[in-house]
Structure 1
Amino acid sequence: MILDRQLLLSNAQALTTGTVFSTNTIDLASARDIGIGDNLELFIRVIAPLTGGTSVQFAYVTSANADLSSPSIIVQTPPVPAASLVAGSEWLRVQVPALSDTTSRQRYIGVQYTINGTFTVGTVTAGLTLDREGLAVYPSGLNTAGF
């Protein structure tokens, strides 16, 4: 996966308590190419395990404000239990939907983290990428009996 610093929404961002937003936003009104014609994917990856809290709900949001206040939720996960928030786990890995209507398409996009309980440690990284990183390892189907 190739990451573009300008497409990172959270870069090893610590999550502790309450509802917080990604430290960075993407301004859709600025004149730049963020992958036009390509299928962008949103990813949220746990970098350091989140411990001490109960759960986190991850949401891809859009807002008229750079601080993401008054966000509109595009897509979100159910609350993910703390036991599942281990290093390397990914949440809300989705293809970024085309926001064609003006109520859905606001100027800024980012991520909202709704935290239940209080996490004492743990960080996440979120952003947009063009290429999917994924590796599925399956057992060999080669029959070696009789060799």
Structure 2
Amino acid sequence: MIFDMQTLLSDAQAITVTAVSSNIIDLGPINAGFARDIGKGNPIPLRIQVLEAFAAAGAATLTVALEVSDDAAFTSPVQVWTTAAIPKATLVPGYAIVPEYITRRTNKRYMRLTYTVATGPMTAGKITAGVTMGNQSNGE
């Protein structure tokens, strides 16, 4: 995958407790009278990939959510997509978390990921996530 540095949400980000992506994407201002939904039209590839195996003393899980907001502080975030709880044993290097594309309802100015750790904390684990030029699909 080729990641674009301007649309990278997490760059080998260590996830040990619940956190948000280290970067947000500013999709630009929305003009009055116009609607935005970047999930419509041609699919925009999104890749969330484990770089370092996750570990924890207990049976920890990770949930990933895509959130949007009208302001960069995410004072009122709106969740547009989320995973089910993913067990730590599944979170090994190379594991790709779906969706493969940015989902519909991504209609606000700012976008980020939220990583929720349950039954944690994790003692290891890193993720890289962001918009790509296209996602490899063989072997998945």
Name the TM-score, length of structure 1 as normaliser: 0.77
**CA distance in structure 1 between the aligned counterparts of 2:2 and 2:95, rounded to whole angstroms:** 18
Please name the residue that 1:121 is paired with.
124
**CA distance in structure 2 between the aligned counterparts of 1:109 and 1:85, rounded to whole angstroms:** 23
Matched AA of 2:109: R
Q: Which structure has the larger Rg over C-alpha atoms? A: 1
In structure 2, the gaps of 5 or more residues are 30-37
Kept after mapping to 2: 8 A contact 1:61/1:74: yes
Please name the residue that 2:48 is paired with.
44
Q: Which residue of 61, 66, 71 corresponds with 2:77?
A: 71
Runs ≥4 in structure 1, deviation > 6 angstroms? Answer: none
Backbone CA RMSD of aligned residues: 2.4
**CA distance in structure 2 between the aligned counterparts of 1:84 and 1:4, rounded to whole angstroms:** 26
Output one character per residue of 1:53-107: Cα deviation in whole Å (capped at 9) or x when no partner: 60000111111232434321111101101110111101123221343xxxx5221
1:13 lines up with 2:13 in the alignment: yes
SS at match of 1:6: strand
In structure 1, the gaps of 5 or more residues are 138-147
**CA distance in structure 2 between the aligned counterparts of 1:39 and 1:133, rounded to whole angstroms:** 14
- 1:125-144 alignment runs, 5 A limit: 125-136=128-139
Name the TM-score, length of structure 2 as normaliser: 0.81
| Identity level (%) | 35
